[in-house]
Structures are given as structure tokens and as C-alpha cells.
Amino acid sequence: MVVVLEKNITDKQFENIVKHLEDFGFAVHKSTGVEQVVLGAIGVKPDFDIRKVKILDGVAEVYKITEPFKLASRSFRKENTEIKIKDVVVGGNEVVVMAGPCAVESEEQIFTIAEIVSKTGAKILRGGAFKPRTSPYSFQGLGEEGLKMLRKAGDKFNLLVITEVMESNQIPLIEEYTDIFQIGARNMQNFGLLRDLGKTSKPIMLKRGLAATVEDWLMSAEYILSNGNKEVMLCERGIRTFETYTRNTFDLSAIPVVHKRSHLPVVADPSHATGLRDKVLPMARAAIAAGADALMVEVHHDPEKALSDGPQSLLPDQFEELMKQVKLIAEVIGRRIN
């Protein structure tokens, strides 16, 4: 249930409304928008008579949300959520570009790539230190050493950093180094991890699961939001279909679908979505045209030797070309890429 408050509500009226909702058995979450303050009352009670809330002083409107996700829903928050991380805003007018290798491999590698992507206009450096690999015999990441290298490279080239957290017991360590937690596709429904990350205070990028519907994905975001962390961005990275000519099938339509249903920013990852470097540029253009708030792209200066995802990593000059082209597309739809 969503409770829209009157504009000039007093503190006393506010407290009274919250108390009533809690007494009725709801968990109350507040959302302060530019236009209005809204309370999300969570706790499924199909037969609850909403007039009990409508009559309270200071309540402007009450309505039931039929979608199973509440805090992630557009009905709970009309304005887009803007996530501010230092001087970067994800979800505003600017389309933010995150780029870097699949995995941090060495200090030399991450510094070389950080310099390239920062010069070319990326704002956030990506790189995995804990890698979710299909085979236990594949490179699993450098762990804490990798986190240190990523952080140093980010600081040197004035880039924020994002890296994947695979297990709850890694949270305190990764939190020391990263600006944004990444939840990988394979962990989208690891509910214990979602809950634990919901208790942290750093922004989270939640990748769409390999076979997740948009509703599954938003319900996973709901786990994080309902545990307290309101800074969630959703990343479309392709889903499994019967098609084999690409690694995954990039669900571009998920971008406007999520924007309609949810206030959370959407990131598009054409690298994992296609798995092939020559498909990344056209799909990045399409993602920006479809309204993505940020792009995540894998870049490597020597992809032949990359320890993971070399075939989908852009060469530096391809990344430069991508930035040129997506800037033009962004302008056409009234957005910008700095």
C-alpha cells in the first residue's frame, strides 16, 4: 500500500500516521520526492480496509499496489532514483560509462586499462577480483590483491570502481575497496546475499539472472531495498534463449519496461549480453537509444591474453569509437555523456 502525504503535513501528523500503520502491522518505508512524500506500507493484507488510513490527518491519497514489488515500484516513487557517488550521478540526465577488464589480472594490466578508459571518458572502472566462473579450474580472480590494484588504479585515474561480491563473507573486505558492489547474474537470487547487501550503505548494481523475468529481477531488488539500502541500479546483461550465435540474448526491451515499472536506474551491459566484441558497439548504441542510464563495457589492451572474456573485450580504439558514437545517440534523445 502506498500512502501519499499532504504537502504541509506537521511532524505530529506524520508521527501519528506512521504509528497507525505500524499498529496495523505494516513495515513503513519513507520516500521523499521533489513533489511529495510517500510512505510504503509493506505487509500483505489483502482484506485491509484502506479507509482506515485515508481518514488520518495529513494523508492525501492511499492506494494498493498490485505488483508484488513495492519499494522498487514506480507507484512508490514517481521520480527516477538518482544515485550519487562522489561526483558521479547514475540515473540523472548524464549517461555514465563503466569500463574495464573482466578481471583484474595484474597491476600493470589494470593501470594500463584504467588510463585508457579514463582518457576516453569512462567514469567508473570495472574489474572482478572474485570471479564466478563456470569451471572451478578457470581463473578465479586475484582476491584481495586484485581489490587493492583496482582501488589504486581508480584513484590514480580519478575513476570510481565497481567489483563483484559473490558471498556474504566477502562483504566487509570488498566494502573497504569498492564504491559500488556488483551482484552477478548467477547470484541474482542468492537471497541471503541480497539481504546482507541490503544492510550495507554502498550502492549496488544488480545484474539480471540468466533466466530471470523482469518481475523476478525486481523482486530481487526488493530484497535489497526492504533491508534498508535504497541505492540499487539494475543491469541488463542478456538472458539465456535458444539462440547460439551470441553468448546471450540482449533483452533491450527490458530497459523501457523496467523504466515504466520502477524508479531504479538501468545499466546496460552489451559485453556479456553478446559475448562478441564486434556486436558490442551496435548493441551499446541501441541500449542508449532505448534509454539506458549507464553502460558497462569490457575493455582490454591485450584481449588475446586476457584471463577471462577476451573475445568480448573491446580494444582501446574500439572503445574510443564506441564513446564517440554513443555520445551522438545520447544527444538525440536529450541526454549527455561527458
Residues that bind ligand PEP (CB under 6 A): 102, 128, 132, 184-186, 207, 237, 272
Of 20 and 207, CB closest to ligand PEP: 207
- The entry of ligand PEP, Mn ion, none near residue 237 (CB within 5 to 8 angstroms by kind) is ligand PEP
| Minimum CB distance to ligand PEP smaller for 185 or for 264 | 185
Nearest to Mn ion of 293, 309 (CB atom): 309
Nearer CB in complex with ligand PEP: 92/275: 275
Cβ proximity to Mn ion, 46 vs 136, nearer residue = 136
Q: Which partner from the list ligand PEP, Mn ion, none does 184 bind, CB cut-off 5 to 8 Å by kind?
A: ligand PEP
Q: What is the 3-state secondary structure (H, E, C) of the chain?
A: CEEEECCCCCHHHHHHHHHHHHHCCCEEEEEECCCCEEEEEECCCCCCCCHHHHCCCCEEEEECCCCCCCCCECCCCCCCCCEEECCEEECCCECEEEEECCECCCHHHHHHHHHHHHHHCCCEEECECCCCCCCCCCCCCCCHHHHHHHHHHHHHCCCEEEEECCCHHHHHHHHHHCCEEEECHHHCCCHHHHHHHHCCCCCEEEECCCCCCHHHHHHHHHHHHHCCCCCEEEEECCECCCCCCCCCECCCCHHHHHHHHECCCEEECHHHHHCCHHHHHHHHHHHHHCCCCEEEEEECCCHHHCCCCHHHCECHHHHHHHHHHHHHHHHHCCCECC
Give which of Mn ion, ligand PEP, none residue 247 binds (C-beta under 5 to 8 Å, depending on kind). Answer: none
- 150 is a site residue for Mn ion (CB under 5 A): no
Residues 50-89, one symbol each (x = binds Mn ion by CB under 5 A, - = not), give ----------------------------------------
CB of 16 to ligand PEP, least distance (A): 45
Compute the least distance from the CB of residue 272 to Mn ion, in Å. 6
Minimum CB–partner distance for residue 185 and Mn ion (Å): 10
The answer to whether 309 contacts Mn ion (rule: CB under 5 A) is yes
Residue nearest to Mn ion (CB): 102
Letters for 95-114 (x = contact with Mn ion by CB under 5 A, - = none) are: -------x------------
| Contact footprint for Mn ion (CB under 5 A) | 102, 309
